A and B are shown apart, each in its own frame.
Chain A
């Protein structure tokens, strides 16, 4: 993670802020957090006395709720601010809003914004507050990818050497970018499947394979990762002609799932458009890990918050991490 001026805390802007060792460490923490989440009393004192502000300028149900639950289960004081109720409606600038909140001395600001680079931008002006990117425009969504990695690890073991086939609107996807960066760090392969209209320029420079034929990309895949398609916006921008044609060519339906190996996981960061990028029977199939992703989202955000705010880790992690507090 990126050092923030106070040094005891770390920002998380994107996957490139993490090393493979950081990620394995976070996954390990995430596993131990998962055990808290399965307990009857879902509370640990790790972040007691810490204040976390979830500052969401974009609508979000799962990510905001996930961060909120993560903070609360670690005993932090969590405040949620969404754009619709915030000062931005009154014409306050993004920077003023963020500085105003930072002046109240929270330990962490969890930020989602529709503009790429918002966290980097704000970090230049905010001291003493760690910033965690909860999704910035089409740039990155690192906590989603950490969540995905835990999910994969639970089903298939180490991510290194695995093949992820990612399908859909790569061009506008922050999840795709975070995976493409993470794949290099963690040594997994990414196959992208999309019409050319939904691929960003020179995307092959990430070191991924690019397919336009979904069927051809499936054999050998360890997971098929479907991205949400915003059908209204994309049809009007000529990115594809119709949902019907998109679903035929790039949707995951039963016949296509049959081309995959038995172990192949079906993943989706949500929210799903059933019948558009993913058929209902596939989304609900045995190999679907969609709800595991959601569950792990809470665990991994607990791990990230703990790591970022650098509170005393929970006992299980502390044992592993002894004497190693300042290393990443």
Chain B
């Protein structure tokens, strides 16, 4: 009998099982059939000499814009971008229109994801109805429809009383609450980090304390409630320190960092570059170093992109008028590989933050290459160099600060449930 697919002689890294060896990976019926030396016949073989073979990446923080803003992105274009970036599972945030505050909308997203069929899409349900921050959604129902965690991302859950109840109610069922930590009263009108650069540009800033003070409050509420709390897109030194202290205390507090927050600083906005505008904003070098240290010491267990597609018209209008956010799915891996090149993380540690760690946090059936696991695989050349051309991105939107920049690390093949869904064209 021929098995479906064999990936030959790559460096197989499966952090969930401590595997890091040159080996074959063979796949049958959409599942991992074995890792080792494969002598049999396969319907298809992929040559992975010199490449890394790891579980398909998980991006637990993306905005797919469907339903409601399909001119920016939809589930199909977002999926194409994901698999081009080696991502086989992603969690989409609920700030669509209508938002994911009702089971029917969650099911619609799941159904569309299945129709597209390129990667696994796990919706994040809204914490509050209409994302208004006043009444809770039917989280248990949303979970049954497919929601894997809850957030009002894009907006904070600003009301302390609602946040308390959200943490209590969600943790009743073991659900994670993901907070977009931003005190609007401190960030109102702001476009970029508050500091010397915002002063020189004459642009209203958003102080780091706008992020930090929400986390300070939420850590106290997590202590009070025994909730499960996750800080989205952490960006400040103060926030990293607070999460580290909460973890040391034994609280169920976790966090993720976006590649732009450990790769770039606020200097990117000089010249009023709207493609470097996102929320939270790019911060100072000291903040960037604190995020890197948080990744190194494990305080930050997950890398997630906050993939935020915006139409060119929403970005080509001057810094203060431009929408917040950048696309990230197709640059997640090459940008993150800087952490390995710089000696911050081992390759296995880096891969864990994009595979097994988010999988465990969200109880996803993904993120490892164990026998019988769903065969989601990312095969990449860690040294492959290429130049990012925004017009070649698979995403419908091209809002990236890395246009024209040299990337190191290139996805060669992406396999979702045993099917090769992406192959890099070789020049």
Contact = CB atoms under 8 A, between A and B. Distances in A.
A200 B199 CA distance: 6
Contacts of A201: 194-196, 198-199, 205, 207
Interface in B187-218: 194-196, 198-205, 207
Given A174-B202, A201-B205, A117 B272 contact: yes
Interface string B204-240: 1101000000000000000000000000000000000
B114 interface: no
The dominant DSSP class at the B interface is loop
A147 to B, nearest CB: 19
A118 B196 contact: no
Contacts of A117: 201-203, 272, 318-320
A116 B195 contact: no
A107 interface: no
Residue picked from B202, B203, B313, most chain A C-beta under 10 Å: B202
A115 interface: yes
Interface in B305-345: 313, 316-321
A94 B318 contact: yes
Q: How large is the interface on A (under 10, 10 to 19, 20 to 34, 35 or more residues)?
A: 20 to 34
Interface residues of B, number: 21
A95 interface: yes
Most chain A CB neighbours (cut-off 10 Å) among B195, B201, B313, B317 = B201
Given A120-B272, A201-B196, A202-B196, A136 B205 contact: no
A194 to B, nearest CB: 13
Interface stretch (A26-34, A41-49, A137-145, A241-249): A137-145
Interface string B16-28: 0000000000000
A205 interface: yes
A93 interface: yes
Contacts of A136: 202
B202 A121 contact: no
A177 interface: yes
Interface string A84-110: 000000000111000000000000000
Nearest to B274: A121
B321 A115 contact: yes
A94 B199 CA distance: 24
A203 interface: yes
A118 B199 CA distance: 16
Contacts of A118: 318
A120 B269 CA distance: 12
A139 B196 contact: no
Given A121-B272, A201-B194, A95 B317 contact: yes
B271 interface: yes
Interface of A: 93-95, 115-118, 120-121, 136-140, 174, 177, 200-203, 205
Q: Considering the complex of A and B, which 5 residue pairs feature the smallest CB-CB distances, nearest first?
A: A139-B202, A117-B272, A138-B202, A200-B199, A116-B202
